[in-house]
Amino acid sequence: MILKDFNEFKNLQGTTLEPSPWLQVEQKMIDHFAAATKDYQWIHVDQERAKLESPYKSTIAHGFLSIALIPKFLNDVLVVSSLKMGYNYGLEEVRFPHPVVEGSLLRGLVHIESAEDQKFNSLKIVWKVTIEIKGVRKPACVARMITIVYE
């Protein structure tokens, strides 16, 4: 969905947007995330050991990898053409109800809870994002994310 300005965006408060396209979480992505965060726990990066010792019989993605994908899912479902920049203000109520097994398909389901005018032509937006796993009843992640965006 492409919107021309903040006024159009504010009209979407309380709306759940169409889900993002599915994204496959491959081992290479998990390994890159491990390298970036220096979190090399075997459950994430050692495929052979995970096959033998993990209850999932596979590696699983870091929970914070799911969080790191939220901006991608937001950009997949919504663009405000007048937007000049934005930044993450914080996260609230983050949960990881189900692990993301390597090879899983994820998508973001985005709900716009609120959009409040701020100084300097900006908005404070509260999003509720649910990251779904294809074929799994429980989501990978549920979070309230706050961003500040400028027009």
113-141 pLDDT, tens per residue?
999 989 998 899 999 999 999 999 999 99
54-112 pLDDT, tens per residue?
999 999 999 999 999 999 999 999 888 787 888 999 999 999 999 999 999 999 999 99
* Residue-averaged pLDDT of the chain: 94
What CATH code would you report for 2-150? 3.10.129.10
13-46 pLDDT, tens per residue?
999 999 999 999 999 999 999 999 999 999 999 9
Sequence-distant contacts of 47-50: CB under 8 A, at least 24 apart? 47/102
Q: Which sequence spans correspond to the domains of the chain?
A: 2-150
30's enclosing H/E stretch is: helix 27-37
- Looking from the CA of 34 toward its CB, the CA atoms found within 13 Å total 17
The model's pTM: 0.91
What is the structure's pLDDT at 121? 86
Q: Give the model's confidence band at 11: pLDDT under 50 very low, under 70 low, under 90 confident, else very high.
A: confident
